[in-house]
Structure 1
Amino acid sequence: MALKTSPILDQFGRPIQREILTEEIAGPRVGSVRSPISGYPADGLNPIRLANILRAADAYDPLRFFELAEQIEERDLHYAGVLGTRKRQVSQLDVTVDPADDTADAKAHAAWVEGVLKRDTLQDELFDMLDAIGKGISITEILWDTSEGDWAVKKLAWRDPRWFRFDRNDGETPLLLGDYNADGVGTVPITSSGETPLAPFKFITTVIRAKSGLPIRSGLSRLVAWAWMFKAFTQRDWTIFSQTFGQPVRVGKYPAGTTQGDKDTLFTAVANIAGDCAAIIPATMEIEFIESKNVGPGSDLYQKRCDWLDQQVSKAVLGQTATTDAIAGGHAVGQEHRQVQEDIERADAKALSAILNRDLVRPGIDLQFGAQKAYPRLRIGRSEDTDVRLTVESATKLVPMGLKVKKTYFNELLGIPVPEDGEELLTAPAQAPSFGGFGGFDGDPPRAAPSLNAALRMQEVHDPVAALADQAERLCGAGADAIINEIRTVVERSTSLHQIQEELRKLKPGIAERNLAGLMRMARVVANLTGRAQIPDA
């Protein structure tokens, strides 16, 4: 389809700028306000500095907060692990597209979106968008491609959140630092503080909140920052403790009258023996190793504190601890916690789906096909588990009662494509002829039964005795099934093998046994008649 030339407005009524849609306008530039070089506010962090960083972020200066969030993710292995797990869970989910309706145009729109999703880099791009889980917001620049005459997505480029600020009027509208053009020529109005509004149809703004509030205050990094700082203090103290008490204290002793040179020799030996584990001293000197008695309990205290802080981080990121921390509770607790993690996964997937529908699907359809009344819907998530067997059995019983089901429904349910016209089809095997008058018990409708001797049945399909033999097998089978069901009930309600034995002894012949006995007698008669029928006439 040819490129559209009619004016297109975004959701805020702003006209798009076609000349910049295919250009990279928000990338880093050395020497500009969007520098790739980052600061390190976590170095020497203390409660006062952390509080000042958070207050500055609230006052529209989030630079050091974004740098701190990056450092926390780099330095805390546990936080990086659980946060990466949460992001990868969603980025690896299936992505499907639903047409707006059943018209040919709607299906063509959905096919265009599906073409965008087939790119090999999509999973990594979704992972980068989910950086908003930690930082509260993530900005992705769309690089459009029109080289083949149609609109297509060339790249979804993650942009460092340090290059963005928030509108001072609402605290949540992102603004790009500096201008779009490297030569400084303005393309859109720039704010008094040197920021530029995001161009329509050019950016995907991902906001995923850990709590309600402005984006800068709703990311997990803000919640985790205090726990990380206290854990860093504990790790530092633990390191000092281990260095001080983790190995015995060396004490060198020298006799009275020792020369200064001998003292220096002894001190050098004592100082080096921990690292080198070897030293030489005169025979008249002595080195004593003094071990601390509370090394174990003291070290456990630091470990417990670090583990406890890690568990709090796990709760904040994944909503539970069983899938990340070794805690007691067994399989049942693990399953319950896994369900909590899946709830968070679904929430993230739905939030990201809505964002992509707003910032990628609709702009792409408008550029390629023009503005529409309805747009295809992109969905991220696991396919709902369906009990296929229960569905088939239910349809088998309910369709004769009037339930209406599309023929293609079960093709979709089983993953079997609908055959095209003229294709060779599988067919059901030939059914044995049914002879009326032989139903089951308790009002079961008459039904065809398996044959005792297929060859005989084929030869004697018109022989009523052979037909009776076929029906006898089914009738006896029903009585046997009734007895088996009675025994199964006993087994299911019993809790031990001894109880099963006692319950079986208490069973008395009932209707099932009487029915089976009568059927066995009937079977004997049928067998007798069948045998007589096979005797050739003299």
Structure 2
Amino acid sequence: MAKKDKKTKPQKPENGLQTDLAQITAAGRVIAEHPSNFITPAKMRALFEDAESGDITAQHELFADIEERDSDIGANMGTRKRALLTLDWRVTPPRNATPAEEQLAEAAFELIDGLTQFEDLVIDLMDAVGHGFAALEIEWAFSDGRYYPTAFTHRPQSWFRWSKDDELMLKSQDNQDGEPLWPLGWIVHSHKSRSVQQARNGLFRTLAWLYMFKHYAVHDFAEFLELYGMPIRIGKYGAGATEAEKRTLLRAVAEIGHNAAGIMPEGMEIELHQAASGTTATSNPFLQMADWCEKSAARLILGQTLTSGADGKSSTNALGKVHNEVRRDLLVSDAKQVAQTITQQIILPYLQVNHPNTDPNRLPKFEFDTREAEDIAVMAEAIPKLVDVGVQIPESWVRDKLVIPEPAEGERVLARVVPDNPVNQAALAALSARIPAGRPATREQQVLDGALDEALEMPDFNAQLNPIIKQAVAALAACESYEEADAALTALYPQLDNQTLRGYMQNALFLSDLLGQANAKH
């Protein structure tokens, strides 16, 4: 990619686009040569060697042809590119951020959130997976005292060349070595798939060979289908046949194959031999070769073949659900590499242009959310049990595992609506049902009801029940049948600490007895 002087901070973007000024071709228009036409091993090796010398035009034109002409490779590359669009993203401030750094993070978030073509930007950057790099030209605008990018235009890889120092240069008719890329004018995403020279990076360097092998197999299979079932025709001519007679015989042999008719001089003959029958629908070396190439390409691009090359034998629906369309380690790697480019080549220039004092080492970071949420049902069942036995679990850890964000200040949150003290309410309903309908309550009954209401509403009443309930619940949780539960509670009862509750109930019963006796005298 283009080199930048780390000591010099960019001041402002250039006016216009570099590609509008550079003469990439004499006619001002790039016309691809389509090197995939009549591709041969020697031709492919030659254009690969040219790429390693810096001239990458033919190599990347071949790569573009492969993605366009091979439906299987094109579909798998599309799946790999679009996988990132299924992820959420965020912009996070640096650790222990100051208020000023928090404001920069907010500005960076507004920048990315305001990009109307963010999805197109991600797909264009992911073009580097196959080619090794992707170059997007930035168009800037100035409004309300700020510079901001308005467009990111993908430029074909064939418009560039690599210098001896692996610096990406824009091709130009006026400069054989190419022109350096303008600072602030480009995003160059280099997607690292292997540790090699830049020209040899990218999956298409391997896919090109699979494409060629498959191309030959399919071409041979087409020729085989054209002749399949047709007998082999052999013409015989005499020792003294002239050249004209030989040509006549050859034409007759060809016409018999296509027209089922032909003429030839007397004394010549044509023999028909049965066509070979070794190739069948179940044993076809051409299709087997093509199938092998497609599965190898899917494994290279997606990391597995279960969802892309299912054959009904080695793959099942259950296995297909276990594996994602793109293997997870590849998805996470793609997300981190693209996020790093967005942070360093979009957010950093934007902040440095509009906030000159931005520290490159304290940048807000763009991140894709690659976390996998744990099973909420399992966690909801396990966490309360762990808490009950005394395990201290931070709330932040639970939120991270379940991918539940922190609620913003004033934000409405979900809450379970539970009636206040349902057991106490049921007890009150049972007591109320004992009072005859229409009969006025006596003064003593009113005192008793008031005392009961006050007792049931007191928080310490439930607090007295909590230790007993916890002990009983813990014992029941370890049981698997009603018999075990009955035995566990019977064994636990003598050990329950209910002295406080028993004293409270004795006092309540004593008060009830006194009030009852007083009421009976009347």
2:333 & 2:197 partners in 1: Cα distance? Answer: 18
1:105 has 2:94 as partner = no
Alignment of 1:413-424 (within 5 A): 414-415=404-405, 417-420=407-410
* SS of residue paired to 1:141: strand
1:336-366 Cα shifts (integer Å, max 9, x gaps): 5439711101001101111221211111100
- Aligned residue-pair number: 446
* SS of residue paired to 1:146: strand
1:346 has 2:339 as partner = no
Look up the match of 2:143. Answer: 147
How far off is 1:32 after superposition? 3.5
Look up the match of 1:24. Answer: 17
**Aligned match of 2:198 in 215, 226, 230?**
215
Q: Structure 2 vs 1, CA of residues 393 and 339 (structure 1 numbering), >3 Å: closer, same or farther? A: farther
Alignment of 1:102-501 (within 5 A): 102-118=97-113, 119-168=115-164, 170=165, 172-178=166-172, 193-245=176-228, 271=258, 293-297=277-281, 300-327=284-311, 328-330=314-316, 333-334=319-320, 337-338=323-324, 341-373=327-359, 374-386=362-374, 390=379, 393=383, 397=387, 414-415=404-405, 417-420=407-410, 431-432=420-421, 452-456=426-430, 460=449, 462-463=451-452, 482=475, 485-487=478-480
1:346-392 Cα shifts (integer Å, max 9, x gaps): 00110111122121111110001113222111112334425667489
In structure 2, runs of 5+ residues without a counterpart are 234-250, 261-271, 433-447, 499-504
1:46 & 1:405 partners in 2: Cα distance? Answer: 62
Q: Structure 2 vs 1, CA of residues 401 and 243 (structure 1 numbering), >3 Å: closer, same or farther? A: closer
1:30 & 1:167 partners in 2: Cα distance? Answer: 16
Contact residue 295 and residue 309 of structure 2 kept, 8 A: yes
1:93-145 Cα shifts (integer Å, max 9, x gaps): 22210123543322222222222222221111211111111111111111111
1:196 & 1:395 partners in 2: Cα distance? Answer: 66
Contact residue 124 and residue 154 of structure 2 kept, 8 A: yes
Contact residue 60 and residue 158 of structure 2 kept, 8 A: yes
How far off is 1:487 after superposition? 2.1
* SS of residue paired to 2:196: coil
Aligned letter for 1:112?
A: A
1:15 & 1:486 partners in 2: Cα distance? Answer: 69
* SS of residue paired to 1:462: helix
Name which of structure 1's ranges 333-342 and 117-126 shifts more when overlaid on structure 2: 333-342
Contact residue 163 and residue 177 of structure 2 kept, 8 A: no
2:374 & 2:106 partners in 1: Cα distance? Answer: 26
Q: Structure 2 vs 1, CA of residues 57 and 479 (structure 1 numbering), >3 Å: closer, same or farther? A: same
Contact residue 449 and residue 474 of structure 1 kept, 8 A: no
How far off is 1:42 after superposition? 0.9
1:398 & 1:10 partners in 2: Cα distance? Answer: 58
Computed over aligned residues only, the root mean square deviation of the Cα atoms, in angstroms, reads: 4.9
Aligned letter for 1:49?
A: K
Q: State TM-score, norm by structure 1.
A: 0.68
Q: Structure 2 vs 1, CA of residues 219 and 34 (structure 1 numbering), >3 Å: closer, same or farther? A: farther
Look up the match of 1:62. Answer: 56
1:428-468 Cα shifts (integer Å, max 9, x gaps): 76754xxxxxxxxxxxxxxx96654343579847349x97x
2:56 & 2:282 partners in 1: Cα distance? Answer: 39
Q: State TM-score, norm by structure 2.
A: 0.70
2:318 & 2:36 partners in 1: Cα distance? Answer: 40
1:51 & 1:403 partners in 2: Cα distance? Answer: 60
* SS of residue paired to 1:144: strand
In structure 1, runs of 5+ residues without a counterpart are 1-8, 185-191, 252-263, 274-287, 433-447, 489-503
% identity of equivalent residues: 20
Q: Structure 2 vs 1, CA of residues 474 and 408 (structure 1 numbering), >3 Å: closer, same or farther? A: closer
